[in-house]
Structure 1
Amino acid sequence: MVTDWKSLATGKRDAILKSIPEKWRLGKIPSVEEQKDVTGPYIQQFLDKKEIEITETDAVAIAEKVAAGSWSAVDVAQAFCHRAALAHQLVNCLHETFFDAAIADAKALDAYYAEHKKTKGPLHGVPVSLKDQFHVKDVETTMGYVGWIGTFEGKKGDSRHKTFESEMVRELRELGAVLYCKTSVPHTLMSGETVNNIIEYTWNPKNRYLCSGGSSGGEGALIGLKGSPVGFGTDIGGSIRIPAAFCGLYGIRPSAGRLPYEGMANSMDGQNSVLSVVGPLATTARSVRFLVKSILSQNPWLYDPGVVEMPWREDRYQAVWDRVNDSTGELTFGLMKTDGIVNPQPPVARAVSMVAKAVEKAGHKLIDWEPPSHAGGLATTFNTWSFDGGKDIHSAFALSGEPISQQIKMTYGTEPGPEKSATEIAKNNVAQRQWKKEWTDAWNGTASKTSTGQPIDCIIAPLAPYAAARPEKYKWYAYSAFVNGLDYTSVVVPVTYADKSKDTYEDGFKPMNENDQAAYEDYDAEIYDGAHVAVQLIGRRFQEEKMLAIAEYVGQILGKENI
């Protein structure tokens, strides 16, 4: 068994590298001591001027350039395939490449454009990367499990292997997107760090001492290196927002049922108390909006029974801009500096303060937000991740006999535990519903503190206590996971960079408890120096249009529309 899993993993790892054309392969990869930051000028040295121009253009502008005939879909696809290949060699961010298929698709799009003098759809010629949960024809889906290699989700001989496609993949093709790679994930998906026995560890391109986040960590790293203009991840406890924050990107966690999840691989399939959701990450806020709006134009509720029939609501989006462009218009922000259990490390605390000061300076209202029963509500969320006692994930590991990473052992141990009974699950669901009602009442209660007489528009909060975690040190998920428990909408906004000259604990700082002590001890200003730092803006359920508008606006007043 040991020899088998190792040979399978090594073979798959080598196959990914061998899929990269010889002309794009790097001779020597510098150590982190030699080159901590591989973004910007470092990766640019391997690209020509036109490739740099294309790959450093956001998704919206790419679509405009291709639609105008200024760029061909083939030129765009080739540039991003090249940069994605470089990114993987530098930080281990890809599970699958299908560059030849992408170029063939791009040629077909160019032929369509030449014949019809118009684009196939709004995403015509836009490269889109996908987290390795999406099924794509002729491409394997391992989700980081060695035991899934050569199978359909661990099932040998299943006819769906390399023939089945996820619903959103079909929609992206209809929209004219060019699909070209699938990105790395932690095996099980249940970690804020991306690590598995196939590609090993996915590093943060801005600071390779740190992780890229998880579980959509490959997406974060790839887009952070501009090897993709926009990609899709999933989020059950922060898995879109964590990589977005750690890699200096915008990313949205929509409410469950807004975007199609049908036909995707997953862990703990059938656990419906806290649903995993799918959403885009991108270099600009407008690109995130562009992808959400495009997918909704495909009427996904007609094809995915889990999607709510809710088309893009332009009036909700525009209403925010009408308010901020009116001299008397005012947004009201709740400010959540800490969850009261683990304090954010100095870079994150400074980022939260920067956003608070920026919105106040822009003429908006700020009130302190203290969450109701934070600890109790978190418990109902975390409980859902182990309803089956870890049986699903341990069964996947057992397929090959591969070892479980330390990051996963923190939550699931080395063997399955007892499964929860129907009565226990029902009790947890009731407690969760009560907690959601407490939040609803608390949110409504803020109306008495605003000048408009309306509740707050959103909450400014840390996304994690860390700017980006060090290996095996991501231990506190409360800042991201409570949003999943409430099923609220949340958008990550990049703010600044960690600065060792500014980001230090105050003299006399005393941790509140053991978890806070661990976060305090894990911080090293020297190691973190230069890392991306972000916040999340949290809105209520199904407020995607409103929150995307607020995120765009906040990004503008911060001067970080494209960090």
Structure 2
Amino acid sequence: MDWRALAKQKRESTIAQIPKEWVLPTIPPPAEQRDISGVWMHQYLTPEEIEITSSDAEKVVELASAGRWKAVDIASAFCHRAAIAHQVLNCLHEFFPQQALEAARALDEHLTSTGKPKGVLHGLPVSLKDQFHVKGVETTMGYLGWIGTFEGKKGTGKERVHESLMVKDLKDLGAVLYCKTAVPSTLMSGETVNNIIDYCWNSANRNLSSGGSSGGEGALIGAGGSVVGFGTDIGGSIRIPAAFNGLYGLRPSSGRLPYEGMANSMDGQNSILSVVGPLSSTPGGLKLVTKALLGMQPWSYDPMVVELPWREEVGEQVSRRATEDGGLTFAIFWDDGEIRPYPSVRRALEKVKAEIEKKGHQVIEWSPPKSIGAISDIAMGVFMSDGGVDAYNAFALAHEEPAPQLAPIVPTTPRTQATASEVAAMNVTIRELRKELMDYWNSTVSLTKNGRPIDAIISPVSPYPAARREMYTHYAYTSWVNALDWTTVVIPVLRTDKAVDVVDPSFTPRSEAEKLEFENYDLDMYDGAKVGVQLVGRRLQEEKMIEIAAQVSRWVKSASE
């Protein structure tokens, strides 16, 4: 079959899973309805569905576990809202509401018969990026050549049978799985685009990208079709969609959460590992699911996971220090030296800094011995080390053409791959880089008033509040974190305002690249786009960074009320 016909067939098979009564009669163009992240969807939902899908993850679990809300009603509400979101944003690869409703009914029966919830996530609908294998559901990862196969291979016996280990844990914890969200083919793009869905749009501003590679997750949660879901991050793939869609997103350090049994690109590239982590509408959602999964002791079945249970006392210490004058110390950097952030991103950084200082905490400048761009370049060298062979072969399976955004990753013919000696040299460079930046972090003790090194770094996620189509070109603001493997949480801060976020008349571009980026800054198009920042901590500091994110977000929100 021609790849275009195959793409159409697959696209229509997802739409066919939507019940007829949930199919929208018309879809307004972005000029008529730019933002669907708020009340726009309510016209299609019942009051009960609005209440359920407007609740946070903790409330959903609390009421489901107490039997005040039926799991089947919760699942139906989120399935309905997800179906609407997909029709408008192209955010799903797989939709399986009947499977979800059956699982939810079983949870209700369990609660009735035992008087106890099945687990600490009882009744919570959880969306998954299309890298997770779910029994009975296909995994394409945006590749046409993976349709009807197991990761592009035929006759393995694993097709629609194999299940990722985190999926098993989520089910055992009482979560309800109902959809798998869109990704860019290759997983190596800040825009979610592939030949199946075409393009995944931003929930808050449909002129713009949802981000990538967990862009389907960002769009879905941003539109209220999910309250918490899981993505992956190797160069910014959780943090970019979280920031673009006004969400919280956790990029944990490698080895904290289980990746076993998931599909991936460039599998076996271990110099900079992809990590799995949650996106949510609240920081509490991040904590809920991360703590729950660690309670399953994933180090017992995934050899790559560190034996490190959830440490409640770490978050409690942050909470105590947050009430003390000078108790927390932050560093901030505004600009990677290559592409300055757009005005609304700069304003978000300024707002976060101001609110932290109003609470009596210190913010210093982050001036590491290596530039952010130099650190990012090291990461990019690792990502290109296979010469594009993995991506080239995946596209060749169905003879499909990659989207323009993927050109840097998908060569027209495979390039020369790095040798074993060159990979070893990369690993030495990364090890030395991590030691150098660790030493610099420790040295900040000489600049802080409380006599301790900084607690976190405040950083842009991207130069853009959200990218325009085919215009995401600069990844340094996220990929430096992956090179260092530091724990990071994104928090939403504000919206772009065309009356406020104008370019300073004195702005002078430092390069042709920066000039081009600012020529693409269209105030009318960006108006209303959500803006987030990232809070970066040291390696394996998930409990600390989630609590810092909760505290800082609370300060920022209270200032806006």
- Calculate the TM-score normalised by the size of structure 2: 0.98
Given candidates 463, 472, 475, the residue that maps to 2:473 is 475
C-alpha contact 1:494 1:560 (8 A) present in aligned 2 = no
- Superposition pairs for residues 435-454 of structure 1, below 5 Å? 435-454=433-452
Within 1, Cα distance between the matches of 2:455 and 2:337? 22
Within 1, Cα distance between the matches of 2:502 and 2:272? 36
Amino acid at match of 1:121: G
The answer as to 2:295 corresponding to 1:331 is: no
Partner secondary structure for residue 441 of structure 1? helix
The answer as to 2:66 corresponding to 1:46 is: no
Within 2, Cα distance between the matches of 1:102 and 1:485? 38
C-alpha displacement at 1:470, in angstroms?
Answer: 0.1
Given candidates 329, 348, 351, the residue that maps to 2:348 is 351
C-alpha displacement at 1:518, in angstroms?
Answer: 2.5
Aligned-residue sequence identity (percent) comes to: 54
Given candidates 93, 96, 102, the residue that maps to 2:94 is 96
- Does 210-219 or 368-377 show the bigger shift? 368-377
2:289 matched to which residue of 1? 291
Q: Deviations over 1:297-335 (max 9, x none)?
A: 00000010000000000111110001112x345100101
- Superposition pairs for residues 255-334 of structure 1, below 5 Å? 255-325=253-323, 327-328=324-325, 330-334=327-331
Q: Deviations over 1:447-466 (max 9, x none)?
A: 00111211100000000111
C-alpha contact 2:135 2:160 (8 A) present in aligned 1 = yes
C-alpha contact 2:232 2:274 (8 A) present in aligned 1 = yes
2:365 matched to which residue of 1? 368
Amino acid at match of 1:305: P
Within 1, Cα distance between the matches of 2:91 and 2:413? 28
Given candidates 16, 30, 33, the residue that maps to 2:31 is 33
Amino acid at match of 1:50: E
Partner secondary structure for residue 273 of structure 1? coil
Partner secondary structure for residue 412 of structure 1? coil
2:337 matched to which residue of 1? 340
Amino acid at match of 2:343: P
1:202 matched to which residue of 2? 200
- Superposition pairs for residues 486-497 of structure 1, below 5 Å? 486-497=484-495
Given candidates 150, 154, 179, the residue that maps to 2:148 is 150
C-alpha contact 1:284 1:561 (8 A) present in aligned 2 = no
1:105 matched to which residue of 2? 103
1:461 matched to which residue of 2? 459
2:18 matched to which residue of 1? 20
C-alpha contact 1:134 1:141 (8 A) present in aligned 2 = yes
Amino acid at match of 2:334: K
Partner secondary structure for residue 2 of structure 2? helix
C-alpha displacement at 1:413, in angstroms?
Answer: 3.3
Within 1, Cα distance between the matches of 2:128 and 2:227? 11
Q: Deviations over 1:492-547 (max 9, x none)?
A: 00000000011111112011223322221221111100000000000010011000
Q: Deviations over 1:192-247 (max 9, x none)?
A: 00000001100001100000000000000000011011000000000000000000
1:505 matched to which residue of 2? 503
Q: Deviations over 1:274-306 (max 9, x none)?
A: 000000000000111111000000000001000
Partner secondary structure for residue 559 of structure 1? helix
1:175 matched to which residue of 2? 173
Within 2, Cα distance between the matches of 1:520 and 1:27? 39
- Does 512-521 or 71-80 show the bigger shift? 512-521
Q: Deviations over 1:334-353 (max 9, x none)?
A: 01111112111111011000
C-alpha displacement at 1:562, in angstroms?
Answer: 12
C-alpha displacement at 1:41, in angstroms?
Answer: 2.1
Amino acid at match of 1:200: D
C-alpha displacement at 1:188, in angstroms?
Answer: 0.6
Task: Tell me the matched-pair count.
Answer: 560
Within 2, Cα distance between the matches of 1:55 and 1:559? 21
C-alpha contact 2:486 2:536 (8 A) present in aligned 1 = yes
Within 1, Cα distance between the matches of 2:345 and 2:406? 25
C-alpha contact 1:462 1:536 (8 A) present in aligned 2 = yes
C-alpha displacement at 1:164, in angstroms?
Answer: 0.4
2:544 matched to which residue of 1? 546
Within 1, Cα distance between the matches of 2:235 and 2:558? 26
Within 2, Cα distance between the matches of 1:344 and 1:413? 30
2:382 matched to which residue of 1? 384
- Calculate the TM-score normalised by the size of structure 1: 0.98
C-alpha contact 2:388 2:409 (8 A) present in aligned 1 = no
C-alpha contact 2:239 2:251 (8 A) present in aligned 1 = yes
